[in-house]
Structure 1
Amino acid sequence: MKTKLNCPCGEYIQGENEDDLVEKTQAHLAADHPGMEYGRDEILFIAR
């Protein structure tokens, strides 16, 4: 299960599970990178 992700902007995102990680990553993108949208599969591909 992948629960960690380092955004290229330097933000470290950690979720309790994959669903939580996807939610937190999408919220980060919406807040800090408007116009950049990634789906679940794309987020989990770059997560660790």
Structure 2
Amino acid sequence: MKTRLTCPCGVLLTGKDEDELVENVQAHLREQHPSHEYTREQILFMAL
């Protein structure tokens, strides 16, 4: 299960499971990088 991803801006994003990780990454993108959108599959591909 993938539960962490480091954004290229340097922020470490985590979740207790993949669903929470995806939610947290998408929230970060909306707040900090509104011109970027990634699907669940894309986020999980980049996650560890």
What TM-score bracket applies, with the shorter chain setting the length?
A: over 0.9
Shift of 1:35: 1.4
Query: Alpha-carbon deviation of 1:12?
Result: 0.2
Q: TM-score, normalised by structure 1?
A: 0.98
Aligned residue in 2 for 1:35: 35
Identity of paired residues, percent? 56
Query: What is the TM-score when the length of structure 2 is the normalising length?
Result: 0.98
Q: Cα deviation per residue 1:6-25 (whole Å; 9 max; x = unaligned)?
A: 00000000100000000000
Give distance in 2, aligned partners of 1:12 and 1:33.
15
Flag as ranges the 4+ runs of structure 1 deviating above 3 A: none
Match of 1:37, as an amino acid?
Answer: E
> SS at 2:36's partner residue?
coil
Alignment of structure 1 residues 1-48 onto 2, 5 Å: 1-48=1-48
Say how many residue pairs are matched: 48
Q: Which amino acid aligns with 2:24?
A: K
